[in-house]
Amino acid sequence: MENILAERTGKIDASGIRKVFALAAELSNPVNFSIGQPDFDVPGPLKEEAIKAIRGGLNKYSQTAGDALLKQKISELVKKEIGWDRPAVLVTSGVSGGLLLAFLVLIDPGDEVIIPDPYFVMYKHLVNMLGGKCVFIDSYPKFDLPVEKIEEATTDRTKMIILNSPCNPTGIVYSEDEIKALAELAAQKDVLILTDEIYEKFCYDGRCASIANYYDKTLLLRGFSKSCAMTGWRLGYAVAHESLKAVVEEMTKIQQYTFVCAPTPFQKAAMAAMDYDVTNFVDMYREKRDLLYEGLKDKFELIKPGGAFYAFVKAPSGIATPFVERAIENNVLIIPGSVFSEKDTHFRISYATSNDKIEQGVAILRKLA
């Protein structure tokens, strides 16, 4: 079998998150802090838009780049919010699909990709699979944006810098000053920024700054999976300034031979989703954030999350995996930090669950501490 498989399969591991998620099915009513998936359902009016599209026969391929009206709506949003007059737009099969297409277009073997550590698990494995080199920039212990370290790590081989704010797994939201400083550095070095903003709606303590407001050589990825609970609908979009139009065109070309297009009826629902007010969901998750943080802060070392729905907590012993194993033995599913980092000192909690489960999980974790 070893001779059959392509070499690239050996460069990625099965997702540690999915392993724990699968384990949840074997436990009796666990506290599931493992999966980054909203605990609310797709809002009713958005379901109706999808049902209407399906019943109306909109079940065939869309254009590869996406439904024209949805693209226009995305363009109008970006023009208003970012100031790009003629953005290039591609509707993708989730932000994950956008990441794969972007990496396929941009990364050649040997290219260096700068990634603040901790990081979303997919970045590392996709870069490795394509023969690129991950350059991890340590942001412990506060998980601020390490601009000076990024500057020191930038070389002639640097192809891009990946930005993720609000961040998975830490829940950190980078400040506007940090974002501006990175934009200035990227401009000096003439390096592309890929900004993953899937959690941009989930900001609890003020506005989430986007580097796209300060730097045109930015590829912006957003989606609907988190804000509207459409994780299974696989809908996102990639947007770039007109000067990066070629990048989006090449992503669209590769989409022709991979995803073909994003799911057509759900693209119709996405148009309604762009106008849907998610304030109630954000308020609800701010309450969950506070419930978790207040419950753990005197027993664990953790930075209060400013966005997304994660907390990255230091294990009491300073080594996460044994603590995670003990937690799972006590019916609490958490993810070891080594899934998201070159270190194994922390564990990730997703508080996308009921308040009762948060309280139950906090009580168990406090005892284990």
pLDDT for position 28: 80
Q: Is the pLDDT of residue 190 over 60?
A: yes
Average pLDDT, integer, range 336-353: 97
Per-residue confidence (pLDDT) for residue 158, from 0 to 100: 98
pLDDT at 1 over 60: no
Report all structural domains of the chain as residue ranges with CATH numbers, in order of start.
Answer: 7-42+278-368 (3.90.1150.10), 60-273 (3.40.640.10)
pLDDT digits (tens, 9 = 90+) for 295-329: 999 999 999 999 999 999 999 989 999 999 999 98
Cβ atoms within 10 Å of 6's Cβ, excluding its own: 8
Q: What burial letters (b/e) apply to 295-315, b meaning 16+ CB within 10 Å?
A: bbeeebebbebbbbbbbbbbb
- Which residues have CB under 8 Å from 332's CB, separation 6+? 30, 31, 33, 361, 364, 365
User: Does residue 19 surpass a pLDDT of 80?
Assistant: no
- 107-158 pLDDT per residue, tens: 999 999 999 999 999 999 999 999 999 999 999 999 999 999 999 999 999 9
Q: Which pTM value belongs to this model?
A: 0.94
- Measuring CA to CA, which residue among 100, 132, 116, 121 is closest to residue 21? 121
- How many helices (H) and strands (E) are present in the chain, helices listed first? 12, 13
pLDDT tens digits, residue range 286-304? 999 999 999 999 999 999 9
